[in-house]
Amino acid sequence: MKESYITTAIPYVNGNPHLGHAMDYLLADTLRRYMMYCGKKVRLQAGTDEHGNKIFKKAAEQGIPTQDFVDQNAAKFQDFIHSLGVEYTDFVRTTNPDHERRCQEIWKRLSDHIYKDSYEGWYCEGCENFVTDKEHDENDGICPDHKKPYIKLSEENYYLRISDFKDRIRDAIESDELKITPTFRKKEFLNLLKDMPDVSISRPKEQVEWGIPVPGDESQVMYVWIDALANYITILGYPDEDISDIWPADTQVVGKDILRFHAGIWPAMLMGLDLPLSHNLLAHGFITVNGEKMSKSIGNVVDPQEILAKHGLTPFRYYFLRHASTTEDSDFTWYKYEASYNELANDLGNLVQRLATLCKKNAVTGRKVNKVANADFDSRMQKYEFNFAFDILWDGISELNKRIDTEKPWAVAKEDPAKAKEILEKLVDDLLTIDDRLALFLPDCAKQIEEIFTASEITPPATPLFPKN
């Protein structure tokens, strides 16, 4: 069976993982679990982007050799991903010698589309991106995302001739051969593509020493994006190995800010290499704090470990998968987080406690998980509307709470114990059906619920799943 491949963006390792980084992983993990639920075999890549000046400078600031610095931070990202309950199959580091060598090989294979030219203009080190005069003037010379002044550059660089591929890229996106979700971002990108210039793919070594040398020109190193984008295939072994069993990717998950690199430069690279384009690009929205983008450079980052420490993993996943939108920006505040926790405790925690207690009293024994088709749920998942799919499950949970209230099995038991048992069995069956899909979002909690209601003797948990604050 051909494996399905899901990728996540590889974060820069100039600092600790922050809350914004969690979105890529949670969405990709949910998709992976859903595809596996549908019977597919899935590979999920994650990794770290370890080259470039901001990383080099940060290591120097801390007085640590750059390689040691990136080693430490890459480990932090791996721990972070695990702490989110996310299971990747492949982890790529761009300072890995295999990646570096394969990247140089990729460069050589793209050489027909590469030329050298001089550049004079603006650059944002936070974005690791060149900025047009128009963008510079519109933003008064300051990057709106990083709140830092653009720097003036005057240097010789190698360029990738995007113009060689522009028409084909546009056709692929318009026809959904490369499908961009959400549609408004597809439109936004198609507009951007019209004026997209050739892109710089190298920097002079005296400006950036922490990077992969350009093959055949020791005076230049690869500019971070070409190195970073290549990760999606170098980790599969390209070009040393045949990757046709796994490439193209089913879905590449990226934040909205880096969609243009994935919809512009990356398809150009793939076309230059004669590789097929990925099927889907999912551009998620941003987690904001008080309406502002969270960024290391701005200094308003929320530490995800602090949120995880508060109530554990399930409430974290619940908040960011149900109350954060897959495609729009979503704000985090502690107030909303507490409200979300209480909702989880009241709706799901209480249901489990109450139902398990009633089952125990009425000698209802463990039941089997019933798989029941749910076309609405599937349709939402297939459109990457994970938070709306999650809502469907929650409606089911609310419905079960209502049924307990209206069907009053404890009152029925006094008159007709067999009938009460029947009511409870049906409630447990329906809960287990929901729980089977809840596992895509809240795997640990869903497992616990399944264990409670499939055990030969149903026993309420000694402490509620979500204790009151």
Q: Which residues are catalytic?
A: 18, 21, 124, 127, 143, 146, 293, 296
Other CB atoms closer than 10 Å to residue 303's CB: what's the count? 12
The single-letter DSSP state of residue 202 is E
Minimum CB distance to ligand MSP, residue 318 (Å): 17
Nearer CB in complex with ligand MSP: 13/169: 13
Candidates 8-16, 104-112, 272-280, 387-395; binding stretch for ligand MSP (CB under 6 A): 8-16
Minimum CB distance to ligand MSP, residue 140 (Å): 23
235 close to 215: Cβ distance less than 8 angstroms = no
Number of chain positions touching ligand MSP (CB under 6 A): 20
| 102 is a site residue for ligand MSP (CB under 6 A) | no
Candidates 9-17, 131-139, 419-427, 431-439; binding stretch for ligand MSP (CB under 6 A): 9-17
Contacting residue, 4, 5, 23, 235, with ligand MSP by CB under 6 A: 23
Nearer CB in complex with ligand MSP: 258/364: 258
Per-residue binding letters, 211-230, with ligand MSP (x by CB under 6 A) = -----------------xx-
| 287 is a site residue for ligand MSP (CB under 6 A) | yes
Nearest to residue 251, comparing CAs of 277, 270, 272, 226? 277
| 11 is a site residue for ligand MSP (CB under 6 A) | yes
Torsion angle, alpha carbons of 228, 231, 232, 236, to 10: 170
Packing angle between helix 304-311 and helix 19-37, nearest 10 degrees? Answer: 60
Taking the CA of residue 213 as centre, how many other CA atoms within 13 Å lie in the half-sphere pointing to its CB?
6
Candidates 7-15, 181-189, 359-367, 403-411; binding stretch for ligand MSP (CB under 6 A): 7-15
Minimum CB distance to ligand MSP, residue 177 (Å): 21
Strand partners, 119: 155
Contacting residue, 20, 272, 304, 460, with ligand MSP by CB under 6 A: 20
Candidates 21-29, 137-145, 188-196, 267-275; binding stretch for ligand MSP (CB under 6 A): 21-29
| 84 is a site residue for ligand MSP (CB under 6 A) | no
348 close to 342: Cβ distance less than 8 angstroms = no
Question: Per CB under 6 A, which of residues 291..320 are in contact with ligand MSP?
Answer: 293-294
Distance CA 364, CA 109 (A): 66
48 is written with which tokens?
A: 């770290």
User: Phi first, then psi: what are they for 66, rounded to 5°?
Assistant: -55, -40
Question: Per CB under 6 A, which of residues 377..416 are in contact with ligand MSP?
Answer: none
Beta strand 251-255 with 4-8: parallel, antiparallel or unpaired?
parallel
374 close to 430: Cβ distance less than 8 angstroms = no
Q: Taking CB positions, which residue lies at the least distance from ligand MSP?
A: 255
Nearest to residue 465, comparing CAs of 315, 335, 260? 315
Nearest to residue 353, comparing CAs of 413, 401, 316, 418? 401
Distance CA 359, CA 353 (A): 10
313 is written with which tokens?
A: 């993993």
Nearer CB in complex with ligand MSP: 257/391: 257
Residue 401 one-letter amino acid: N
| 21 is a site residue for ligand MSP (CB under 6 A) | yes
Per-residue binding letters, 322-341, with ligand MSP (x by CB under 6 A) = --------------------
121 is written with which tokens?
A: 């203009």
Question: Per CB under 6 A, which of residues 228..267 are in contact with ligand MSP?
Answer: 228-229, 231, 254-255, 257-258
| 10 is a site residue for ligand MSP (CB under 6 A) | yes
Question: Per CB under 6 A, which of residues 158..187 are in contact with ligand MSP?
Answer: none
Three-class secondary structure of residue 277 per DSSP = coil
Handedness of CA 433, 435, 441, 443 (dihedral sign): negative
Handedness of CA 339, 340, 346, 349 (dihedral sign): negative
| 438 is a site residue for ligand MSP (CB under 6 A) | no
Question: Per CB under 6 A, which of residues 42..61 are in contact with ligand MSP?
Answer: 49
Nearer CB in complex with ligand MSP: 254/356: 254
Minimum CB distance to ligand MSP, residue 377 (Å): 25
Minimum CB distance to ligand MSP, residue 53 (Å): 13
Query: What phi-psi label fits residue 11: left (phi over 0), alpha (psi between -120 and 50 degrees) or beta?
Result: beta
Residues 6+ apart with CB under 8 A from 25: 8, 46, 81, 84, 86
Strand partners, 121: 153
* Site for ligand MSP, rule CB under 6 A: 9-12, 20-21, 23-24, 49, 228-229, 231, 254-255, 257-258, 286-287, 293-294
